Amino acid sequence: MSPSKGNDRGSKGRKSGTGKSSRPSKGSSSKKGTGRARRPAPPQGPSPIAVAAVGLVVLLLLGISLFVAFKGSAPQPTPTATPSATPTSTPSARPQRTPKPTPETVETPEPVETPEPSEAPEPSETPESGPEPVAPATQMGPGGALTGPPAMAEFRGETETVQVKRVIDGDTFVTTDGRKIRMIGINTPEVGRPFKKDAADALKELIWGAEVTLEYDGPKAKAIGRYKRTLAYVHAKGVFVTGEIVRRGLAYVYLYPDTKSHNEELIGYQREARAAKRYLWSKPLPEPAKVYIGNRRAPYFHREGCNRIKRLKPGKNRVEFKSRNEALDAGMNPCDDCKT
């Protein structure tokens, strides 16, 4: 019962039907009302006035109910307005970003290149399995933490820009155009030596995905080494990568007689790493020898009495140092037997 509504609308009590009729279904209900209204009429036959009144009422009711029925059906269009809007709001799914862009990590290990058995001890090249996904920075070695700015140096020779395809170890990588770059001026641990992987990881971190600048230590045309590797200093991301590897204690400075452009910086970075006892410099040193003997032609030095030094004949290539540090500051590396 919604009397109030009915009342407002029509004139009679009948209105209940009418009130309802404001909805589409009303039409029928109002008719019922009409029917009922008629019934009472007949019995009252005697009074014509009553009959007329009833007739009037009936007509009125009919009119009203028809009107209402009409109205009820007409408004239908309005309610449809809203529905379609809601469903569209769901597709909030946002394009998923694909995580790591680290490409190129699948490389197959390069066939081992066997160096010619020449006398000059250029570090043997023993490519390791392809790089794993770029390793996070190895900021802290067994020694002191890295502090201060990374290694920097200006260009002093002809330069060229390349892209890295693969890192082989701490001082060698392959470019996208297929050249093998051996970083000049340094020597990182060889296979089986401590910190070899740390050095490779550091190089990856420093050059991976970057535009790398090769800096030649003279004319580019002369920068091809004995093993057909391109010899160059390396810069990337604003860092003198060659020096940074040294500064982190992951490479010895390794100066051939004709290595010249960055000797001082490299020696300086090596001193810093040594003082902080990073990586290569983290191990206790053996008892000092009375004399250290170096080979100018191939930058290695030995403790007096080392078996390897016996092959070095006295001559202009033989040089003596009073201390290990003196030999290191000359850009020479201890031989494997004399490292510890």
Residue closer to Zn ion, measured from CB, 255 or 335: 335
List, in order, residues 6 or more apart from 313 with CB less than 8 Å away: none
* Alpha-carbon gap, residue 281 to 274, rounded angstroms: 5
Burial of 110 (0-12, 13-18, 19+ CB in 10 A): middle
Helix H or strand E encompassing 141 = none
Residues that bind Zn ion (CB under 5 A): 302, 306, 308, 335, 337-338
Residue closer to Zn ion, measured from CB, 234 or 338: 338
Residue closer to Zn ion, measured from CB, 23 or 193: 193
Q: Side chain identity at 78, as an amino acid letter?
A: T
Residue closer to Zn ion, measured from CB, 223 or 335: 335
Q: How far is the CB of 263 from Zn ion (least distance, A)?
A: 23
Q: How far is the CB of 101 from Zn ion (least distance, A)?
A: 45
- CA-based nearest residue to 176, from 188, 161, 187, 186: 161
Q: How far is the CB of 300 from Zn ion (least distance, A)?
A: 7
CB-side neighbour CA atoms (13 Å) of 336: 10
Tokens of 225: 């080494």
Q: How far is the CB of 309 from Zn ion (least distance, A)?
A: 6
Strands 300-303 and 211-215: unpaired
Q: How far is the CB of 115 from Zn ion (least distance, A)?
A: 19
Residue closer to Zn ion, measured from CB, 211 or 337: 337
